[in-house]
Amino acid sequence: MDYSDLIKKLLAKDTRAAARLITIVENDITAAEKIINSIYSKTGNAFIVGVTGAPGTGKSTFISTLSKMLVQEGKKVGIICVDPSSPLTGGALLGDRIRMKENFSLENVFIRSMANRGQLGGLARATEDVIKILDAYGSDIIIIETVGVGQSEVDIFKSAHTVLVLMVPGYGDEIQTIKAGIMEITDIFVVNKMDLSGADRTVAELIQSIELHMSYKYDENINEDFAKIKQWVPEIVKVNSISGENFDILLNLMRKHRDFLEKTGIIQHYLKTRIKNETLQILNHKLKKKVNELMDLNQEQIDNYINQVIEKVLNPYSMADLLIKMLGID
């Protein structure tokens, strides 16, 4: 298929073309490849902000308020709500999305929900492609929202320049048990619902956690993908997303972090890591496709192997080795 007309419209900032292309890259990796090939040279301008937090921390309202403030600053905002969670809990979240969407009659905000269809690895890949479309579409800031900080979120956040983690007063106990994982990805902790009692205690607990663990993002020893330099200690700000209180402080902290990334050159390092990760995701998909083709073309042989596993002549590990040989590697 030819996507050149849609792409031309996208680059001319046509909202419908953006929406249409996003649907295409979500569902079809072959089409995604063609589309990204065409628009890649027009990408690289957007600043990417990741937002996460447990259910109930008020992410939708927070993002709604944050977006409005960014638009007031003259920014064009893209929002991607990614939900890698299960259908069992997914219903309510989708409801939030829809409610959030209704709040947005704003001219310069583009909002899109993505759910986990098909394979997990695929969601991070699709998110990367959607980011590129919103980037080429002219978004200055792209906000990626997820729930929690499991592996799929970490994969998705590999693309984010600044990561905000939302907390609410009264999550003290959990903070104590989870800090390692969270510290690793957080640039700014946002204590939302600051009007609730216990907000200051949550802030104090966060400060304590950070000090206690001497946890810095960009520590060389944490994790290859986030290994930068030990220079940024997670910032903390409490806000009220309904009244907008303290969002000025938050926006300043976000600017401070962006300056930090740019002045230290870490932002360039980010780009390299991101390209590497993205390429690996795509490679992984391409290899899976080749494996599927191999299995389709050699069904009889595969059935024969499976029967040998049932007879315990082979086992899944030795069968995998035989498939690798069939692929022509080794």
Site residues (CB under 8 A) for a second copy, limited to 259-278: 271-272, 275-276, 278
Residue 309 found at the interface with a second copy (CB under 8 A): yes
Residues 6+ apart with CB under 8 A from 61: 100, 241, 242
Q: Does 85 bind a second copy (CB under 8 A)?
A: yes
Q: Quick one: which segment of 74-82, 142-150, 197-205, 208-216 binds a second copy (CB under 8 A)?
A: 142-150
**Token couple for 134:** 């919103």
Q: What is the CA radius of gyration of the chain?
A: 22
Task: Tell me the three state secondary structure of residue 193.
Answer: coil
CB of 49 to a second copy, least distance (A): 18
Q: Does residue number 58 form part of the binding site for a second copy (CB under 8 A)?
A: no
Site size toward a second copy (CB under 8 A) is 75
Q: Can residue 145 be called a binding residue for a second copy (CB under 8 A)? A: no
77 vs 273, beta carbon nearer a second copy: 273
121 binds a second copy (CB under 8 A): yes
> Does residue 37 belong to the site contacting a second copy (CB under 8 A)?
yes
Give whole-number Cα distances, 131 to 77, 144, 221, 306, in Å. 12, 9, 29, 41
| DSSP-based three-state secondary structure for 34 | helix
Residues 97-116 that bind a second copy (CB under 8 A): 116
325 is an interface residue for a second copy by CB under 8 A: no
Q: Which CB sits closer to a second copy, 174 or 200?
A: 174
Please identify which residue in 40, 45, 212, 262 interacts with a second copy, judged by CB under 8 A: 40
- H, E, C per residue of 41-55: HHCCCCEEEEEEECC
Say whether residue 317 binds a second copy (CB under 8 A): yes
Rounded distance, CA 242 to CA 65, Å?
7
Amino acid residing at 182 = I
| Smallest separation (angstroms) from a second copy to the CB of 95 | 8
Structural contact between residues 234 and 189, judged by C-beta atoms closer than 8 angstroms: yes
The sign of the CA dihedral 26, 28, 31, 37 is positive
Q: According to the binding rule CB under 8 A, does residue 1 interact with a second copy? A: no
Q: Which is nearer to a second copy, 248 or 321 (CB)?
A: 321
What DSSP element (H or E) covers 239?
Answer: none
- Residues 156, 139: Cα–Cα separation, whole Å: 18
Q: Minimal distance in Å, beta carbon 286 to a second copy?
A: 6
Neighbours of 23 (CB within 10 A): 12
The verdict on 148 binding a second copy (CB under 8 A) reads yes
Would you give the binding string for a second copy spanning residues 171-190, x where CB under 8 A is met? --xx-xxx-xxx--------
